[in-house]
Chain A
Amino acid sequence: MLITNPINAFELVFPIMEVFHIAGFAVAIGVTAAVDFRILGLVPLQQTPSQLAKSTGFWMLGGLLVAIFSGFELYTSDPDMYYTNWSFLIKMACLIVAIVLNYTIHRKVVQEDGSSGGAKLVACISLLLWGAVIFGGIFIAFIRGGL
């Protein structure tokens, strides 16, 4: 028996998933950006970067998981289109690098409460990568060319 993907069977599922996807990313990127801005000295909160990251870690992870699971659902609506779209592929590459960076080098810099040039460089790279994820997501609908 053929089982229809709910995202294609019901008209409202895709937009609802998209809202969850964007909200999840907004929360995850928003709190990560706040930590990065704290490292860069642009948001001089009383909390150190490590304290800030610790108190927002739950929201970062929660937002990211919502974004990833809803994103996977969106992907299943038309895998061929997404898989052959350059913008989607760039978004995925940036997302993977951003997540790996976030839980490795970025985490180390944050835990050390670094404010050196190197720490600021990591914060800038983190901001650029998350920004690129958003750009990649938006351009999926505007770029048809791909593999």
Chain B
Amino acid sequence: MMTFAIWIENTPFFAYVRGSGYEFPTLLALHLVGLAFFGGMILLTDLRLLGWGLRGTTIAGVVNTLRWPKRIGFVWVATCGFILGMSKAEGYFLNTFFQIKMILFVLVLVHALVFRPIVYNHPEELDKTPEIPGRAKLAGALSLFLWLSILTMGRSIGYMNSPAGLHYTELLKSILNLGKG
């Protein structure tokens, strides 16, 4: 895993992003802009599933309308996040908050696999009952919790330095220099 991290962060593109002046923070800002826009749509969906907002619109209306914008937003955020992550892969792979964030992404995938067949793929069914079904509320609450946790872990990454990561990079550089010599 670390071999892969060292290799990918030292490929010309990711090394350029890491070593650049304003490219890295620009990507970081784009990552957060996408997160705000995309997160807003997740929030609207979750609020509707929980019955805390958009009560004037059917659940099907909200879920179906926001499906594609959310997917586009996810691709935007994930692309920026991937470039940021791989440009400092070694340090991030050793960062506990980054590891927790990745585990949370796996849980988002599990959430999708569990709730798609019973909530998101058939939202019309949820509008037939006078009360919002428990499974829909559970899907909304878990989604809200997972995404807020991802946001928290994402910000926390910056507070943990990984000196070991630097050590690996230095080690690789010295090996490469030895080869040249």
A binding-site residues for B, Cβ under 8 Å? 15, 18-19, 22-23, 25-27, 29-34, 37, 42-47, 51-52, 55-56, 58-59, 130-131, 134-135, 137-139, 141-142
Which residues from A are CB-within-8-Å of B159? 15
Cβ–Cβ contact B151 & A26, under 8 A: yes
Which residues from B are CB-within-8-Å of A43? 41, 65-66, 69
CB-CB under 8 A for A135 and B55, given A15-B159, A26-B39, A26-B151: no
State whether the Cβ of B44 lies closer than 8 Å to any Cβ in chain A. Answer: yes
- Rounded to whole Å, the gap between the CB of B140 and the closest CB of chain A is 14
Task: Indicate the member of B36, B41, B58 with the most A CB atoms within 10 Å.
Answer: B36
Helix, strand, loop or mixed for chain A's interface?
Answer: helix
State whether the Cβ of B25 lies closer than 8 Å to any Cβ in chain A. Answer: yes
Cβ–Cβ contact A29 & B151, under 8 A: no
What is the CA–CA distance of A139 and B26 in the complex, to the nearest angstrom? 8
- Closest chain A residue to B27, Cβ basis: A138
Partner of B53, one of A19, A44, A55, A134: A55
CB 8 Å contact bits of B16-30 with A (1 = contact, 0 = none): 000000100110110
Cβ–Cβ contact B40 & A139, under 8 A: no
Partner of B148, one of A23, A30, A51: A23
B binding-site residues for A, Cβ under 8 Å? 22, 25-26, 28-29, 32-33, 35-41, 43-44, 47, 53-58, 61-62, 65-66, 69, 148, 151-152, 155-156, 159
- 22 of the cross-chain contacts (CB-CB < 8 Å) are A19-B151, A19-B152, A22-B155, A26-B36, A26-B40, A27-B40, A29-B36, A29-B37, A30-B40, A33-B40, A34-B41, A45-B65, A46-B57, A46-B61, A47-B54, A55-B54, A56-B54, A134-B32, A134-B33, A134-B36, A135-B33, A137-B32
CB-CB under 8 A for A30 and B155, given A56-B44, A59-B53: no
- Rounded to whole Å, the gap between the CB of A11 and the closest CB of chain B is 9
List 12 extra interface pairs beyond A22-B32, A30-B40, CB under 8 A.
Answer: A26-B151, A27-B43, A31-B40, A31-B43, A31-B44, A34-B41, A45-B57, A47-B57, A47-B61, A56-B53, A137-B29, A137-B32
